[in-house]
Structure formats: C-alpha cells, structure tokens
Amino acid sequence: MTNNKPLVGETFPKITVPQLGGGNLELGKSDTGHDWRLVVVYRGKHCPICTRYLKELGEIVPDLAKIGIDVVAVSADPEDRAREQIAEAGVSFPVGFNLDIPQMRKLGLYVSNPRSAQETDRPFSEPGLFVVNDEGKLQVTDISNAPFARPALSSVLMGLNFIKNPDNNYPVRGTHNDRS
C-alpha cells in the first residue's frame, strides 16, 4: 500500500463529493465566509463512535465559527445511510457522502473493508481530521487507522484558538525537509 498523504503546508487536494440536502461539497474550500475550514472524515453509519464524535463536533461548531473556522464532515456512506447517521447525531453542519477510494487515497486515509454485510456494503475510510487555512493549505492533520484513536475535539479547539491568534505567530508545524 502506498500512502500519498497530503503534506502540511501544501495546498489541500481538491475533492468534491455530493452533499446531503443537494448540491456538491468541496471539502477544502470554505463557502461560508470563514477563512479556515475543519474537515472531518468519519467511518460511517456502522460506527457508533463516529456518531458520538459528530455530536461532539456539533457542540464546538459555534466556538470554531467565532474564530473563523467552518466545519464539514464526509464519509463513504451512500446518501441514505449518511442522512440517517446525521439525523441521529443531530448536527446541522454540511455533510458529504460517497467519498470514494481514490479520494480517500488522495487524503492519505487508511481504508478498511467491512467485516460483514451487516456492517456496510463497501470499503470505508478510517478517521481523518484536516484543518485548511486561509491560503487553502493544510495547517493541521490527524489520520488514524482505528475508530477510537482520534484527537479530542476540546484539544483541537484549544489548539486552533492558539494558532489563529495573530499574537502567537504560529507556523505550520511538521514541514522540515532534509533536502533543504
């Protein structure tokens, strides 16, 4: 398996998926007037941990909006399963569906096969979190291969408050290149 994960400090890949409620959702591009975007990739309806994470995410959306960050989420689920899970989570931020394997690979996500037909009917991505800054570049990323290993959203919010404060002059971290 090759891993083509996007590099921090570089332009976030252009990925567009269908959006619940109609239209399309470009993952890395804010269209709400905020200058940054938080993109959460979740496993899908079969994952109760994802439902809890989406609920927690919905709770911090107003705090993220205060610092100019909008939120979107996406999974490989088809529309009906995505709609059911989002209704259960009770969130109202934009949600995409039908993330395909080439798009998952472009994001450097781990991809799993379902354990059974009862789980889901297609390969799905494991969790990922991406923060895209006002230049369209990847500022922060977290990619996991398991549903229980993802960043605490309270820590993400605290860190983004720090990063977005201009007094802190906080650069993109993890950009060291041995060839430079």
Q: What is the pLDDT of residues 8-51, one digit of tens each?
A: 999 999 999 999 999 999 999 988 889 999 999 999 999 999 99
Look over the chain and give the mean of its residue pLDDT values, rounded to a whole number: 93
What are the tens digits of pLDDT across the range 103-162?
A: 999 999 999 998 887 778 889 999 999 999 999 999 999 999 999 999 999 999 999 999
What is the distance between the alpha carbons of residues 35 and 135, in angstroms, rounded to a whole number?
8
Mean pLDDT in residue range 46-62: 97
What pLDDT, on the 0 to 100 scale, is given for residue 1?
Answer: 54
What's the mean pLDDT in 86-114?
96
pLDDT at 63 over 60: yes
Cross-strand partners of 79: none
User: At residue 85, does pLDDT exceed 80?
Assistant: yes
pTM for the model: 0.94
Residue 180 has pLDDT above 50, yes or no: no
Q: Are 15 and 6 in contact (CB under 8 A)?
A: no
Task: Give me the mean pLDDT over the 48-61 stretch.
Answer: 97
Provide the CA 20 distance to its chain's centre, in angstroms: 16
H or E, element range at 142: strand 138-143
